[in-house]
Amino acid sequence: MSLVSDLIAVLGRDRVLDDRLDSWTYGKDAGVFRGEADVVVLPESTEEVAEIVRVAERHSTSIVPRGAGTGLAGGAVPVDRNVIVSMIRMNEITDVDPENRTAWVGPGVVNLDLSRHTEVHGLHFAPDPSSQSACTIGGNVGNNSGGPHCLAEGTTVNHVLAVEVVLAGGEVVTVGGGAPDPIGLDLRGILVGSEGTLGIVTKVLVKLTPNAPDVRTLLCAFDSVEDAARAVSGIIAAGVVPAALELMDQRMTEAVENWLKAGLPTDAAAILLAEVSGGTAAVKAEAAVIREVATSSGASSVSLAADEAERQILWKARKSAFGAVAQTAPDYYLHDTTVPRTRLVEAMTEAYAIGDKYDLVMMNVFHAGDGNLHPLMTFDASQPGSFERVRAAADEIVEMCVSKGGVLSGEHGIGKEKRDLMGLMFDAPALDAQARIKEAFDPGGLFNPHKILPQGSRCFDFGRTVPVPDGAWI
């Protein structure tokens, strides 16, 4: 039987998509890369995922797990003609335990839906990517996603206690558990952020966070991006770790305001959105510190959201930034890299210079509190050479950030986008060690090939170099 016939036998005709339109639709995520799949399948249970893996192995066809397709690093984009396993129908929330603040959820659960579901218990899921109204928990686990409110709470790995995963051969295992201090190797930590290259996550035990009794949000306007960046370091140095510290430059603020009409100060070179949460006395004191530091750092104005409605409009403005860019140009490239907070000012200055060097319009909105930059370059892909200039500038920005002690990615993952830049951070033995982990979990190279690790990563065998054939899975 053919691959498609075997998959239809497992799932039925309606959940096996193999026409060219489906292949085109699922061949891209929210980034700039495109691929083409042989077939797309829509499982609804762990048992079906396990059988899909067995079918794919019999036909020597690799698998690309996919959530909502909101990723930006090409992690869910097929490189070869793979089977795309869309997890979107595995979206049940079960076993919510308010006392232990946990819940088991399917990988297809939408991030924001989880927090809405647990709001009745006064709980929420802390990681909140800008795409949280669409992105899924499985995608968050795959990329170790962050978000504005991960400054104080940590990224997805800090909010996942256990995962059920389908491995090669269709084996189903659960790693981690409800215990706060599990013993043994942290296989959960290895799987979170592995971008579907080790197996397919089918259930997640998440940690839920109590809703804060009081929240205060401040909007600070600055006459220069550098002053805003200095304020970020000053706030942390003053002993305050806010729930969020987000920065938008003037071009981005103008784009958002033109669309949303939120009352943002478009005459400011940069705006800083700062939020503190907790007990009323604590947030009042922390808000006062932020106001003082922002003012001493050169803020032209500092305002406090008057009520919940104003808070929500400010956060809608921040989380709508990328969509608002559509007014500026037909295409954009949104990057993701990180520098230490102490190097934020110089990194921003050099990022703008790189944009000028390649004659690109550079817009910035980013998680300033943890130095997670999101330089956004607008362009028109129909213009010859425009995409090449954007990619060259993007790579140069990453190289610059790594040279300042930063890392390749803060939350978007490596995927296809930064795969060939891994050598900036990892030497040959370190890449080889990661490739050995991949081999241990996935000896046949079944899961999400050609992602994260560049070709040639698996190059050592007990100290001697071994050749890597062209087209290897790495």
The domain over range 214-323 is classified in CATH as 3.40.50.150: no
pLDDT at 463 over 60: no
Q: Where are the domains of the chain?
A: 3-86, 93-210, 214-323, 329-403, 420-465
pLDDT at 430 over 70: yes
For residue range 104-145, list pLDDT tens digits in order: 999 999 999 999 999 999 999 999 999 999 999 999 999 999
pLDDT at 177 over 80: yes
Q: What pLDDT is stored for residue 474 in this prediction?
A: 30
Q: Count of residues for the chain?
A: 474
CATH fold for the domain made of 329-403:
Alpha-Beta Plaits (3.30.70)
Q: What pLDDT is stored for residue 21 in this prediction?
A: 92
pLDDT at 358 over 90: yes
On the question of a common fold for 3-86 and 214-323, the answer reads no
pLDDT at 178 over 60: yes
CATH fold for the domain made of 93-210:
3.30.465
Q: What pLDDT is stored for residue 184 in this prediction?
A: 87
For residue range 390-418, list pLDDT tens digits in order: 999 999 999 999 999 999 999 999 999 99
Q: Which residues contact 246 (CB under 8 A, 6 or more apart)?
A: 148, 272, 273, 274, 318, 365, 366, 367, 368, 369
Confidence of residue 459 (pLDDT cuts 50, 70, 90): low
Tell me the pLDDT of the chain averaged across its residues. Answer: 93
Q: What average pLDDT does this structure show over 188-206?
A: 97
* Lookup: tokens for 288: 């006062």
DSSP 8-state symbol, 136? B
Q: What pLDDT is stored for residue 466 in this prediction?
A: 37
CATH fold for the domain made of 3-86:
3.30.43
Question: To the nearest whole percent, how much of the chain has pLDDT over 70?
Answer: 97
For residue range 364-396, list pLDDT tens digits in order: 999 999 999 999 999 999 999 999 999 999 999
Q: What pLDDT is stored for residue 326 in this prediction?
A: 84
- How far, in Å, are 52, 122, 169, 189, 209 from residue 115 at the CA level? 31, 9, 34, 23, 10
